[in-house]
């Protein structure tokens, strides 16, 4: 597939949310057909460690990110990430208002990062934050809540490439689970 190619979802009507994943399978393949992957600052010399595994918590199937975030060697992050389209293509999310997540964690602050075709450097993204309470809850993060990080281009939701759920920026033990992830069309 051409990297400039865009994935559209014509089967999704203007009033339907788009399910990205509900973690029903026993593997790391999303409802989009792309694969979840774990990353850490080790790609740039850091020493943080991540573990990304399918799990069941309080009777809910989910994907769980655990690990230790360390700042040594200019590090400081771990994440679970998902390409939103295959083969470096983009996803047009212009019919949606934002992301809906059913999450649970350890009371810590986490980041939700989006990458678009405008993000050409590894450190560039659009970021929004949230707290993962120690019980399941739904949060909705509208696209207008994302701020550019180390780039000046505004968020272009017609060209989304990737999303990441990230533990970043300070030393701590991460424990974040997501049971459902979707693009939503109404409400905040």
Q: 14 or 49: which carries more pLDDT confidence?
A: 49
Of 8-22, 23-37, 44-58, 120-134, which gets the smallest average pLDDT? 8-22
Alpha carbon distance 113, 166 (integer Å) = 7
Q: What token pair was written down for 108?
A: 């810590």
Copy the structure tokens of residue 59: 């009777």
Report the CATH number at residue 149. Answer: 2.60.120.430
Longest dimension (CA), the chain: 48
Closest CA to 65 of 76, 80, 55: 80
pLDDT of residue 2: 42
- Examine the pLDDT at 122 and tell me if it is beyond 80: yes
Digit-coded pLDDT (tens) for 51-81: 999 999 999 999 999 999 999 998 999 999 9
What is the tens place of the pLDDT at every residue in 101-115? Answer: 999 999 999 999 999
Residues paired with residue 162 on neighbouring β-strands, in sequence order? 83, 115
CA dist., res. 127 & res. 150, Å (int): 10
Concatenating the DSSP letter of every residue in 79-118 gives: EEEEESSGGG-EE--TT--EEEEEEEESS-EEEEEEEETT
Confidence of residue 11 (pLDDT cuts 50, 70, 90): very low
Q: What is the pLDDT of residue 26?
A: 84
Please choose, from the candidates 11, 15, 13, 10, the residue with its C-alpha nearest in 3D space to the C-alpha of residue 185: 15
Mean pLDDT, all residues of the chain: 92
pLDDT value at 9 more than 70: no
CA distance 8 to 33: 14
What is the percent of the chain with per-residue pLDDT over 70, rounded to a whole number?
91
Q: What H or E segment, with its residue span, contains residue 143? A: none
For residue 174, the enclosing domain spans 16-105+113-184
The answer to whether position 8 is within a domain reads no
DSSP annotation of 169: S
Q: Which residues are CB-contacts of 42 (< 8 A; sequence separation ≥ 6)?
A: 48, 49, 75
High-pLDDT (> 90) share of the chain, %: 86
* Structure-derived torsion over alpha carbons of residues 97, 93, 38, 22, reported in degrees to the nearest 10: 70
Structurally, how many domains does the chain consist of? Answer: 1
3 state DSSP class of 42: helix
Q: Is the pLDDT reported for residue 140 higher than 90?
A: yes
pLDDT of 10 reads 39
**Does residue 130 sit within a domain?**
yes
């Amino acid at each position: 597939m051409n990297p400039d190619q865009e994935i559209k979802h014509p089967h999704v009507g203007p009033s339907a949310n788009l399910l990205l994943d509900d973690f029903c399978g026993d593997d790391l393949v999303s409802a989009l057909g792309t694969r979840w992957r774990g990353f850490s600052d080790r790609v740039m010399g850091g020493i943080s460690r991540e573990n990304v595994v399918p799990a069941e918590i309080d009777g809910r199937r989910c994907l769980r990110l655990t690990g230790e975030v360390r700042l040594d060697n200019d590090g400081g992050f771990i994440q679970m990430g998902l390409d939103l389209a295959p083969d470096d293509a983009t996803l047009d999310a212009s019919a949606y208002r934002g992301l809906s997540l059913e999450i649970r964690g350890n009371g810590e602050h986490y980041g939700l990062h989006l990458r678009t075709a405008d993000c050409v450097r590894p450190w560039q993204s659009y970021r929004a934050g949230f707290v993962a309470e120690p019980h399941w809850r739904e949060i909705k993060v509208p696209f207008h809540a994302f701020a550019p990080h180390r780039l000046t281009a505004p968020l272009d939701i017609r060209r989304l490439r990737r999303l990441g759920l990230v533990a970043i920026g300070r030393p701590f033990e991460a424990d974040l689970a997501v049971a459902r992830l979707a693009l939503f069309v109404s409400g905040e």
